[in-house]
């Protein structure tokens, strides 16, 4: 049964992306370790869904993508988290980083059936294995993609020469502007989040090219 869910208010995600060859792994790993607060191995399973039918495309709207993500590792699996993404804001509005509306939903139970009940169909599935770093309100993921064995649905270890990917993104809610101060809660803004990811871009300059990407 999948009725038990917990939702988060509508927010924005701010991100930069990059990729590098395996030969540069040690240097990039060392630099990120020096400039982040924590690091840990990561292994995730992600399933990408798209809306069933063509009605939204006929109307000229960009369909929302739904991504189901589960953390793997230490012999234990976490629950599923669903991420709903809309089209990134225009490059003319935010030329420095990818800024897109998103919402998350923690699902207890059969998340994949839940997504199907919402009118989504599975488009692809991948596993990601690598490292996750935390820097303030940012999470930095550095990983290789693992393909899925069609017979067992288990991950196939990536080849040593497989390209490494990097995602630098906000791990907490950000908004277009901050509300009047209540004296208790500091709410991050899109501008502050952009400045934070640009700091990482500067730190990695000369070693890793982090850039805006329209997904």
Domain ranges, ordered by start, for the chain: 10-203
Asked if residue 131 has pLDDT above 90, the reply is yes
Task: Give the whole-number percent of the chain exceeding pLDDT 90.
Answer: 51
Q: Between vectors from CA 170 to CA 166 and to CA 172, what angle results, nearest 5°?
A: 145
Asked if residue 56 has pLDDT above 90, the reply is no
Classify domain 10-203 by CATH number. Answer: 2.40.320.10
pLDDT score, position 73: 74
pLDDT, tens digit, 9 for 90 and up, residues 5-55: 444 445 899 999 999 999 999 999 999 999 999 999 999 999 999 887 645
How many whole angstroms separate alpha carbon 53 and alpha carbon 50? Answer: 9
Give the residue, 18 or 109, on which the prediction is more confident: 18
Query: How many C-beta atoms surround the C-beta of residue 45 within 10 A?
Result: 20
Tracing tokens 């934070």 back to the chain, one arrives at: 196
pLDDT score, position 184: 32
């Amino acid at each position: 049964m999948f009725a038990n869910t917990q939702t988060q208010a509508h927010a924005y995600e701010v991100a930069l992306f990059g990729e590098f060859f395996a030969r540069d792994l040690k240097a990039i790993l060392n630099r990120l370790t020096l400039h982040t607060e924590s690091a840990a191995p990561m292994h995730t399973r992600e399933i990408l869904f798209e809306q069933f039918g063509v009605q939204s495309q006929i109307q000229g709207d960009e369909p929302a993508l739904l991504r189901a993500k589960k953390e793997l590792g230490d012999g234990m699996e976490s629950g599923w988290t669903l991420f709903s993404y809309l089209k990134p804001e225009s490059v003319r509005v935010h030329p420095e980083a990818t800024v897109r509306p998103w919402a998350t939903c923690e699902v207890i139970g059969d998340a994949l059936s839940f997504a199907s009940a919402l009118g989504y169909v599975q488009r692809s599935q991948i596993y990601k294995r690598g490292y996750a770093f935390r820097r303030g309100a940012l999470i930095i993921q550095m990983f290789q993609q693992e393909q899925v064995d069609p017979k067992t649905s288990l991950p196939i270890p990536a080849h040593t020469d497989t390209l490494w990917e990097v995602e630098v993104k906000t791990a907490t809610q950000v908004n277009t502007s901050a509300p009047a101060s209540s004296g208790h809660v500091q709410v991050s803004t899109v501008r502050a989040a952009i400045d934070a990811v640009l700091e990482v871009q500067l730190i990695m300059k000369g070693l890793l090219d982090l850039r805006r990407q329209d997904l």
